[in-house]
Each structure stands twice: as structure tokens, then as C-alpha cells.
């Protein structure tokens, strides 16, 4: 089964036009075998256009091997400072030190609130190591984004943009970021800085309906209705049946999301909403040409 979207030709599109464009992005690659499997399947169907890998996680080597075998895949780095599952944890690549990156058991913090107090120098060393490790493993990194939005928080957002600049990569920061960060923090200077680089300008952040354990056609009709004219980011969490159910309390939501997208229902809804799908690789190439 294929939906016929194919590789997006981003450079031919006008993202300032009233057309709605959406990056359908698969978060949390590397956190489970079942997530990695779902990504490849949905990418090949054409209904997922990009994804990003969590380098500290145990299934990163598998995802890196897949990327080496499949250079057509559009994969970024899901910058990771948290490990949210109580029964499944991971540690920083840079080790366990008294620098605020870990809890008392030596694992990354379970929440964004705890993680934002880490030492900034230690955070920079860790996040650089994650990008460098992905590149060294053969991942043709197309972008950077932030697991649980931690790198978007005021304490780290300047570093986040500096990493994009250093590695010549687009970073994901949507105009509604204050829905996931302090409402009183002014992100305007950061959006101006991104615009100066030619970074894609994401208007709205759409995501998995966490808390809904049986997401269906109506659920995603509502989600897609929130897309704004211009460019939108869709941070989804597809999972095939498998190991995710062993540790994630929201496995049913992730499995349901996978079924809606693999069945063709999501594509029907996207078509009905007039939403055009795009990926991240062409944005990266355009930015590097301009630079």
C-alpha cells in the first residue's frame, strides 16, 4: 500500500502562502525496536516525512544501522535530556557526574522541570556529543529537535540555536512554543535569529493526543483542523506492536496512532484538510546553500 506522496520538493513551495504544509515527524526513534519499525514502514508508505533519533537510548544502534542502509530516510537528532519512563531509563553519553544532568540513580531526569536546572556547560557537552555520535554512526542528520521540549526552555534555547548554527542544521521551534514553555518568556529574538539563517518558520505544533488511549479518525480530524496556513510541525509517536508495551503506560495511544496512519485514514484526512506534506532534508540543503 502506498499513498503516493513521494519525496517532497520543498524548494518549489511557497511557505508564506495560505496553503497548509505539515512535517509529519516521528519522535523518539531509538527508544524502542517497535518505534524504529513503525517509522520505516510509515515513511515508505509516504505518510511520515521525517523522524529523529534519541542517541542515548538502547535502540539507537539499530536506528543508525537502518539509516546507513537507507540513506533516503529523513532523520534528525531528538536532543535528549530526560528519561520519562519509570521502568526504562537511560544515562547521558557523557557519563554520570555531579553536574545536574542526572538524578540520584544516575539516570536522566524524568521531567523537564528537573532537567532545566542542569549545568549549562554539561548540557552543551552532552548535546554536542549526541549530534556527533549520530553523525559518526552514519546518520545523515537533517535537523535538530527537542525531546519533551526540554531544549526549547528558556535555560537552553540559546544553546539549542547555537547547536543548529554549529552543525549547519535547521532546528525546530514553533511560533506557539509558549504552550510548552513559560508563557511570559519572549521568544521573539530567537525567531528573528532563526529567520536570519533561513530556518523553516513553523507556525503551529501538532502532536500525539496523549491521554487518549483509543485515538481514531475523529481524533486526527480534530488535530489536523488546528494546522495553520504556512508551515506546521507534527510531532507524533507511532509504534508498531512490540517492546513499547513493556514499559510505556501510553503504549495504547502510540499503537492507535500507528494504526490510523498505516490504514490510510490519516492520508484521507490530510487530503480533506488540504494539507501538503513536506520533509526536512530539503530545508537543510537550502539553508546550507544560502550559508
Question: Is 9 part of a structural domain of the chain?
Answer: no
Question: Is 5 part of a structural domain of the chain?
Answer: no
Q: Give whole-number Cα distances, 287 to 10, 198, 262, in Å.
A: 12, 6, 32
Say whether pLDDT at 4 is over 90: no
Say whether pLDDT at 5 is over 90: no
Question: Which residues are CB-contacts of 158 (< 8 A; sequence separation ≥ 6)?
Answer: 190
pTM of this structure: 0.93
Question: Is 7 part of a structural domain of the chain?
Answer: no
Q: Mean pLDDT across the chain, nearest whole number? A: 94
Q: What percentage of the chain carries pLDDT values higher than 90? A: 90
Rounded to 5°, angle at Cα 75 from 179 and 56: 80
Say whether pLDDT at 9 is over 60: no
Asked whether the beta carbons of 220 and 237 are under 8 A apart, the reply is no
Give pLDDT, residue 205. Answer: 98
Q: How many domains does the chain have?
A: 1
Better-predicted residue by pLDDT, 97 or 208? 208
Question: How many Å apart are CA 162 and CA 174, to the nearest integer?
Answer: 17
Q: How many CB atoms lie within 10 A of CB 289?
A: 9
Question: Is 225 part of a structural domain of the chain?
Answer: yes
Task: Look up the domain containing 101 and give its range.
Answer: 16-290
pLDDT in tens, 192-236: 999 999 999 999 999 999 999 999 999 999 999 999 999 999 999
Give pLDDT, residue 8. Answer: 41
Q: Read off the CATH number of the domain in which 262 is found.
A: 3.20.20.370
Amino acid at each position: 500500500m502506498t499513498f503516493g506522496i513521494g519525496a517532497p520538493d520543498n524548494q518549489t513551495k511557497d511557505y508564506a502562502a495560505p496553503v497548509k504544509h505539515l512535517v509529519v515527524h516521528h519522535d523518539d526513534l531509538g527508544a524502542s525496536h517497535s518505534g524504529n519499525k513503525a517509522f520505516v514502514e510509515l515513511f515508505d508508505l509516504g505518510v511520515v516525512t521525517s523522524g529523529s533519533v534519541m542517541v542515548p537510548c538502547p535502540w539507537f544502534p539499530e536506528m543508525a544501522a537502518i539509516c546507513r542502509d537507507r540513506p533516503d530516510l529523513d532523520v534528525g537528532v531528538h536532543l535528549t535530556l530526560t528519561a520519562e519512563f519509570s521502568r526504562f531509563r537511560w544515562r547521558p553519553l557523557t557519563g554520570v557526574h555531579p553536574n545536574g544532568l542526572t538524578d540520584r540513580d544516575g539516570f536522566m531526569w524524568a521531567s523537564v522541570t528537573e532537567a532545566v536546572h542542569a549545568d549549562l556547560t554539561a548540557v552543551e557537552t552532552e548535546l554536542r556529543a549526541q549530534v556527533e555520535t549520530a553523525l559518526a554512526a552514519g546518520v545523515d542528520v537533517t535537523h535538530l529537535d527537542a525531546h519533551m521540549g526540554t531544549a526549547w526552555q528558556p535555560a537552553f534555547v540559546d544553546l539549542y540555536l547555537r547547536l543548529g548554527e554549529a552543525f549547519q542544521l535547521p532546528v525546530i521551534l514553533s511560533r506557539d512554543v509558549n504552550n510548552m514553555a513559560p508563557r511570559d518568556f519572549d521568544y521573539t529574538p530567537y525567531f528573528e535569529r532563526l529567520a536570519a539563517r533561513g530556518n523553516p518558520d513553523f507556525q503551529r505544533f501538532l502532536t500525539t493526543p496523549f491521554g487518549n488511549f483509543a485515538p481514531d479518525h475523529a481524533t486526527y480530524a480534530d488535530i489536523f483542523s488546528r494546522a495553520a496556513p504556512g508551515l506546521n510541525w507534527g510531532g507524533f509517536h507511532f509504534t508498531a506492536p512490540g517492546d513499547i508495551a513493556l514499559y510505556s503506560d501510553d503504549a495504547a495511544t502510540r499503537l492507535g496512532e500507528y494504526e490510523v496512519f498505516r490504514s490510510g485514514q490519516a492520508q484521507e484526512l490530510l487530503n480533506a484538510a488540504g494539507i501538503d506534506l513536506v520533509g526536512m532534508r530539503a530545508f537543510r540543503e537550502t539553508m546550507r546553500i544560502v550559508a
